[in-house]
C-alpha cells in the first residue's frame, strides 16, 4: 500500500514527506500549514493521484483562489472555483479532484483543532471545528484585497520566534470573522433564491454524507426529513435528475474507496463497517458499481 496517498491532506503526512519547516511559499508545523502559492507544493503535488480518488481531510482548509479553475466533488456535490473565490471546509470533509487548470494558483490555510483549543470561538469558527462547515464565497475586489492582506500578515507572523501562538490564533479568528461578515452580507439574497425543494435536497445530502455508510434504505432518510419515501424520491429526482439510491450508492462507494486506499483493513472488515452481510456481497456490489473488485481497486496505480 502506498504511503503517499494522504499527502497535502493531513499535516502529519506532509511533514513525513517534506519535513517540518518552510520554503518561500510554504510554512508547516504539526498544527499549522500555510501556503502562499501553489508553487509551495510543486515538489510534492505530483505524488497525489488526482482522478477517481476521494480524500478525507484530517484538518479543514481555507482556500483563496488567485487564478485558474479548480473543480471538485465535495461531500458528493460538484463545485467549481475560479479566481476570486474562497472555500472554507471543516475537518472530515471528503472531496475528489475533477479538473485542475494549468494556470491554477491559490493560497491555503490548514490548522488542527488543537491549535484553537481554549480560544473563544465565534459561530463560524465553531461550525468549522464541529465538522459542519462548507462555505463557498465569490469575493468582491475589496474582499479579495482584504484576504490577501490577512494571508500576508499571517505569513509574516508565523515566522516570528519563538512561535507566536496567541497571535496566530488571533489572526485565524480574525479570518473567520471576515468570512462570516462576507457570508452574512450575501445571505439574504441567497435565501430568496433557495426554494423549499433545494433546502430539502441539501438536507438530504447532509444525511447521506453522515449515514450512508450504515443506512441504505429510502425510508431511513424519508423518516428523518418527515417525508414519505415516495415524495422524497420525487423531490430528489426533480432537484438533481438522480434517484435517492444513486446518491446513497455514490456515498457508499466513496467511503469504500477511502478505506481501500487509505487503510490496511481487509475486505471483510470494510464490508462489516459498511454494513454488508459478508465480504462476498460487498465485493459483488463494489464490482457492479466500479467495474473492478475491491482488491483490484486497491492495487490500481501502484
Q: Is the residue at 101 inside a domain?
A: yes
Domain boundary among 158, 192, 226: 192
Q: Kindly report the CATH number assigned to the domain that includes residue 241.
A: 1.10.10.60
pLDDT value for 117: 83
Strand partners of residue 78: 73
Own/partner pairs, 115-120, CB within 8 angstroms, 24+ separation: 115/31, 115/32, 115/165, 115/168, 115/169, 115/172, 116/169, 116/172, 116/173, 119/169, 119/173, 120/173
Q: What is the CATH number of the domain that holds 80?
A: 2.60.120.280
Same-domain status, 161 and 259? no
Lowest mean pLDDT among 79-93, 105-119, 206-220: 105-119
86-97 pLDDT tens trace: 999 999 999 999
Q: What tens digit of pLDDT does each residue of 118-133 get?
A: 787 778 998 898 888 9
Q: Whose grid coordinates read 471483510? A: 268
pLDDT tens digits, one per residue of 143-157: 999 999 999 999 999
258 has a pLDDT exceeding 60: yes
Is 38 in a helix, a strand, or coil?
helix
Residue 60 domain-assigned?
yes
pTM: 0.81
What is the arithmetic mean of pLDDT over 266-287? 97
Read off the pLDDT of each residue in 192-208 and give the average, rounded to a whole number: 83
Q: Are residue 99 and residue 242 in the same domain, yes or no? A: no
Out of 154, 172, 192, a domain closes at 192
Same domain, 249 and 144: no
Q: How far apart are the C-alpha atoms of 146 and 178, rounded to whole Å?
A: 9
Q: Element (H or E) spanning 148, and its range?
A: helix 141-158
- Alpha carbon 39 to its chain centroid, in Å, reads 21
Total structural domains within the chain: 2
Q: Report the share of the chain in percent with pLDDT over 90.
A: 69
Tell me how far CA of residue 106 lies from CA of 20, 93, 206, 213, in angstroms.
21, 19, 27, 33
pLDDT greater than 70 at residue 18: no
pLDDT band at 285 (very low <50, low <70, confident <90, very high): very high
Return d(Cα 76, Cα 286) in angstroms, integer: 18
- Domain boundary among the residues 164, 192, 220 is at 192
Is 212 strand, coil or helix?
A: coil
Q: Which domain holds residue 206?
A: 196-299
Residues 133 and 113 in one domain: yes
Residue with cell 496517498: 5
Q: Are 236 and 253 in contact (CB under 8 A)?
A: no
Q: Which residue has the higher pLDDT, 213 or 192?
A: 213
Q: How confident is the model at residue 48 (pLDDT cuts 50, 70, 90)?
A: low
Q: What is the mean pLDDT of the chain?
A: 88
135 and 261 in a common domain? no
For residues 270 and 272, what is the distance between their CA atoms, to the nearest angstrom? 5
Please state, in angstroms and rounded to a whole number, the distance separating the CA atoms of residues 96 and 128.
20
Q: Does some domain include residue 206?
A: yes
Amino acid at each position: 500500500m502506498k504511503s503517499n496517498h494522504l499527502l497535502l491532506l493531513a499535516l502529519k503526512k506532509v511533514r513525513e514527506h517534506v519535513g517540518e519547516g518552510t520554503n518561500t511559499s510554504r510554512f508547516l508545523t504539526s498544527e499549522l500549514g500555510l501556503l502562499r502559492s501553489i508553487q509551495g507544493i510543486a515538489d510534492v503535488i505530483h505524488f497525489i493521484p488526482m482522478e477517481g480518488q476521494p480524500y478525507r481531510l484530517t484538518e479543514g482548509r481555507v482556500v483563496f483562489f488567485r487564478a485558474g479553475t479548480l473543480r471538485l466533488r465535495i461531500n458528493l456535490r460538484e463545485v467549481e472555483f475560479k479566481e476570486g473565490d474562497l472555500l472554507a471546509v471543516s475537518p472530515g470533509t471528503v472531496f475528489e479532484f475533477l479538473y485542475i487548470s494549468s494556470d491554477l494558483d491559490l493560497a491555503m490555510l490548514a490548522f488542527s483543532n488543537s491549535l484553537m483549543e481554549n480560544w473563544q470561538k465565534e459561530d463560524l469558527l465553531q461550525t468549522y471545528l464541529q465538522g459542519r462547515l462548507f462555505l463557498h464565497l465569490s469575493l468582491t475586489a475589496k474582499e479579495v484585497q482584504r484576504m490577501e492582506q490577512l494571508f500576508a500578515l499571517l505569513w509574516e507572523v508565523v515566522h516570528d520566534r519563538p512561535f507566536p501562538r496567541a497571535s496566530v490564533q488571533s489572526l485565524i479568528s480574525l479570518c473567520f470573522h471576515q468570512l462570516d461578515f462576507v457570508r452574512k452580507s450575501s445571505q439574504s439574497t441567497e435565501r430568496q433564491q433557495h426554494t423549499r425543494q433545494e433546502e430539502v435536497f441539501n438536507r438530504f445530502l447532509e444525511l447521506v454524507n453522515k449515514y450512508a455508510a450504515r443506512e441504505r434504505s429510502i425510508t431511513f432518510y424519508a423518516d428523518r426529513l418527515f417525508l414519505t419515501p415516495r415524495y422524497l424520491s420525487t423531490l430528489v429526482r426533480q432537484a438533481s435528475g438522480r434517484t435517492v439510491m444513486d446518491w446513497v450508492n455514490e456515498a457508499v462507494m466513496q467511503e469504500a474507496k477511502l478505506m481501500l486506499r487509505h487503510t490496511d483493513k481487509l475486505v471483510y472488515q470494510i464490508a462489516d463497517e459498511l454494513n454488508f452481510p459478508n465480504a462476498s456481497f460487498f465485493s459483488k456490489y463494489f464490482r457492479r458499481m466500479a467495474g473492478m473488485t475491491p482488491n483490484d481497486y486497491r492495487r490500481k496505480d501502484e
